[in-house]
Amino acid sequence: MDTDHLTEEQTSESLQNLLMIDNKVIENVRKYGEIVEPHLEKFIDEFYDWMRGTPYHAAFFADPNRMERTKKQQISYWREFFKCDLSEQYLHSRRSLGELHAHIGLPLTAYFAGMDVSLSLLLEAHGGNIKGKELLDCTHAVTRMVHFDSTIVTEMYSKIVSQRIADQSNSLLAMSTPVTSLWDGILLLPIFGIIDSARAQEIMQSSLTMISKTSAEVFIFDISGVSVVDTAVANHLVKVIRASELMGCSCILSGLSPAIAQTIVELGIDVSNINTTSNLRNAMKDAFDTLGIKLDEG
């Protein structure tokens, strides 16, 4: 999946400006890191003591080997955090974390809860080595850097999830427009559900593509499964039919119930030049007549 990574200048500088990460903040993060880094393993153990009380522990860390690997990765994460070298490699590692969380299905609520607990544990880990204004400055700096990391992770997480939803929507649209070659020269598209602008565009594209591919002469649009016909839906269908006819393909609109027919009349939609039938059987008969096909009904 293409995650469209931003450049270092666009990402790092804009985020540093947004979250007020200046040289003083970086200096204080590094200073605090010198104090807490020797205690990172203890901090990670305390973090997983908390994690065992959450529903995410059993879901993601039931395997002891997986937990040990994750612990080592987290120690490396926090060491990199306190090094505070905001290079492209640093940003890439945070984006990769967001991508990983999205792929394994870890919800953002779990991530934010984990970062909040981590921040609390880290800020308690100084052991009284720093006090007063120095402690306040370091606390402020570490908090800002946690926000910096969280922003990158959630941005990538959201991008992956949004892309996944878009891909699923496109797949559903394609599945919802199954243009079928019903007979040599005859295409059928049974339409069900609700037609919005996006689906209308997919219907248009699928229909014209199949007409071109099969050199079909008749196209049956069966709307018996369409739940609502309003002005927008009717206009969408008329556009698809007109475009199909421009490609030399005669169209039949079938499945018009009395209610739909009445609605179309009341809306004032002009379908006078469109071949319409009440059911698919009659539409097939008209299609065969158009192509001069005679079936033995005996």
Q: What is the pLDDT of residues 9-41, one digit of tens each?
A: 456 777 888 888 899 999 999 999 999 988 898
Mean pLDDT of 1-14: 52
Mean pLDDT comparison of 81-90, 93-102, 195-204, 227-236, highest-scoring range: 81-90
pLDDT of res. 11? 66
Mean pLDDT of 53-64: 77
Mean pLDDT of 150-164: 86
CATH class of 8-171: mainly alpha
Confidence of residue 221 (pLDDT cuts 50, 70, 90): very high
Rg of the chain's alpha carbons, rounded to an integer? Answer: 31
Q: Is the pLDDT of residue 88 over 90?
A: no
Query: What is the pLDDT of the chain when averaged over all its residues?
Result: 84
In the structure encoding, which two tokens stand for residue 3, read together? 């995650």
Q: Which residues contact 218 (CB under 8 A, 6 or more apart)?
A: 185, 186, 187, 249, 250, 251, 252, 287, 290, 291
In the structure encoding, which two tokens stand for residue 192, read together? 């069900």
Q: Is the pLDDT of residue 196 over 80?
A: no
Interatomic CA distance for residues 268 and 172, integer angstroms: 32
Q: Structure pTM? A: 0.57
Q: Where are the domains of the chain?
A: 8-171, 180-291
Q: Is the pLDDT of residue 44 over 60?
A: yes
Whether the CB-CB separation of 213 and 187 falls below 8 Å is answered with no
Angle of helix 23-36 versus helix 132-175 axis, rounded to 10: 100
| Residue 228 Cα distances to 41, 182, 187, 231, angstroms | 61, 26, 23, 10
Mean pLDDT of 106-113: 85
Q: Which residues contact 149 (CB under 8 A, 6 or more apart)?
A: 81, 94, 115
DSSP symbols for 172-187: HHHHT---EEEETTEE
Residue of 29, 32, 26 lying closest to 129 (CA atoms)? 32
Q: Is the pLDDT of residue 247 over 90?
A: yes
Mean pLDDT of 167-180: 64
Q: Is the pLDDT of residue 60 over 80?
A: no
| β-pairing verdict for 186-193 and 180-183 | antiparallel
pLDDT of res. 186? 95
pLDDT of res. 282? 93
Q: Is the pLDDT of residue 172 over 70?
A: no
Confidence of residue 1 (pLDDT cuts 50, 70, 90): very low
Q: Which residues contact 185 (CB under 8 A, 6 or more apart)?
A: 214, 215, 216, 217, 218, 291
Instruction: Specify the CATH number of the domain 180-291.
Output: 3.30.750.24
pLDDT of res. 99? 85
- Residue 84: what are its φ and ψ, rounded to 5°? 55, 40
Confidence of residue 176 (pLDDT cuts 50, 70, 90): low
Mean pLDDT of 154-158: 88
Mean pLDDT of 131-145: 92
